[in-house]
Amino acid sequence: MAVNTSADTPLPVGQVSRLIGGWIDRLGAVWVEGQITQLSRRPGAGVVFLTLRDPSHDISVGVTCYRQVFDAVADVVSEGARVVVHAKPEWYAPRGQLSLRAAEIRPVGVGELLARLEQLKKSLAAEGLFAAERKKPLPFLPQLIGLVCGRASAAERDVLENARHRWPAVRFEVRNVPVQGVHAVPQVVQAVKELDAHEEVDVIVVARGGGSVEDLLPFSDEQLVRTVAECRTPVVSAIGHEPDTPLLDYVADLRASTPTDAAKKVVPDVGEELEKVRGLRDRARRCAHAFVEREERGLAHALARPCMEDPHRMVDERADHVASLTDRSRRTLGHLLDRADSELSHTHARVVALSPAATLRRGYAVLQKDDGHVVRAPEEVAEGEPLRARVAEGEFAVRVATAGERAVEQAGQQDRQGQRKRRGRQGTPGTVETQGTPGTQGTSGTQGTQEVDA
């Protein structure tokens, strides 16, 4: 509905903006096709900003959508992709700006096909068919290689020629099949199964030259992917060129960027291997020579030691040392024995000198009563009491003299002394009489008269 205005009754900008917003709201949600020229995905932001352009009329419009809407096609949609957007026009009144609020985004043409492949890829990956632990190692030198490729194709020629150039003795079991079209998938699957059942085939190579996305679709087929995943023989995928990545590349045990690269990865180069063998042989020879030389030096060093040059030298030195210690021990023991003998002799002499027997041998006697008591003082005996006198050579009985007997004995002694004096004056030998006194003299006392030659 038109609005009546004039120069005298103009409408404010805000009102005009609100009217435009109302008219746009009545348009409702529409499907819009265009090409993405700008894409802004800020980390952490919940909204994604796009610029959708019509290349034919050079017209662009801004598009906003929630992150979950864009994440559904994020793997196959990027700048330059053509998409169909289901969106509702929105008018931002403060800035007077028109934009589209997208509720769904769909790729157009190849983009839609890539979206389906991406969904299949996620589904197969979730099953674990692309897991690294499922990959089987390739044999170092395969005796028989199974090759699945197109008939008389450049891929077949590249694989055969490069493999035989690297290892002339290599053998191939070739299966020629269609590599595009409606019959490609079943025949490729059948060829892979036949080669996997072949007992002599060590590795299988599936090769095809480059092409468009549609041409390479058979190698992203789910049936082929599952067949390769079930193979007991290692499978090498060599499809297209480096940028081409069909699903077969993910499930295969090894991905080669081109058929030529597959031949290089499957078959070792005979020249390189011979060079490695020569290098290893030279290295082993050097290691052996170095080991022998090191051991020879060690042996020479060991033989140069004095104990090895003259083995008896150490024994002789030890013998001299032992002899020296033996002589020293003998001398020491002799000195100890001499000193001990000297000490024993002195001790023996002291014991002999202090023994009662020695005292008796010097002329002393020991007087004992009948009860064995030793007489030590005259008061211990009575006149006429019998005693026993012990001397060095034995013992004999004695008696204590009485007073009369002592007087007679004293008179006799005086007579004998007078006779000795007269004989002495006449020059004739005589005897000297010694008068004893009654009693005892301890252990050295004697009783009676003892005569000795003058």
pLDDT tens per residue, range 294-307:
999 999 888 888 77
What's the confidence (pLDDT) of residue 437? 39
Burial level of 262, CB count in 10 A (0-12/13-18/19+)? Answer: buried
Are 122 and 147 members of one domain? yes
Q: In terms of residue numbers, what domain contains 293?
A: 272-306
**Predicted pLDDT of residue 445:** 38
Are residues 50 and 86 located together in one domain of the fold? yes
Between 184-197 and 222-229, two packed helices, what is the crossing angle to 10 degrees? Answer: 10
User: Does the residue 5 lie in any domain?
Assistant: no
* pLDDT given for residue 224 in this prediction: 92
The answer on 253 and 294 residing in a single domain is no
pLDDT value, residue 267: 92
At residue 277, the pLDDT reads 92
* Number of independent structural domains in the chain: 3
Q: Are residues 139 and 263 in the same domain?
A: yes
Would you state the structure tokens that stand for residue 373, as one six-digit string?
């008591």
Shared domain for 148 and 229, answered yes or no, is yes
Clarify whether residues 102 and 25 are in a common domain: yes
Task: Write down the pTM of the prediction.
Answer: 0.47
Residues contacting 134, CB < 8 A, separation 6+: 128, 229
Q: Dihedrals φ, ψ of 85, to 5°?
A: -115, 130
* pLDDT score recorded for residue 447: 39
Residues 264 and 278 in one domain: no
Last residue of a domain, one of 283, 306, 329: 306
Residues 249, 132 share a domain: yes
What does the buried/exposed string (b/e) look like for 122-135 if buried means 16 or more CB atoms within 10 Å of the residue's CB? eebeeeebbeeeee
- Listed as ranges, residues in the chain with pLDDT below 70 are 1-2, 55-58, 109-113, 182, 214, 424-454
What pLDDT, on a 0 to 100 scale, did the predictor assign at position 425?
Answer: 67
Clarify whether residues 64 and 169 are in a common domain: no
By CB neighbour count within 10 A (0-12 exposed, 13-18 middle, 19+ buried), where does 382 fall? exposed
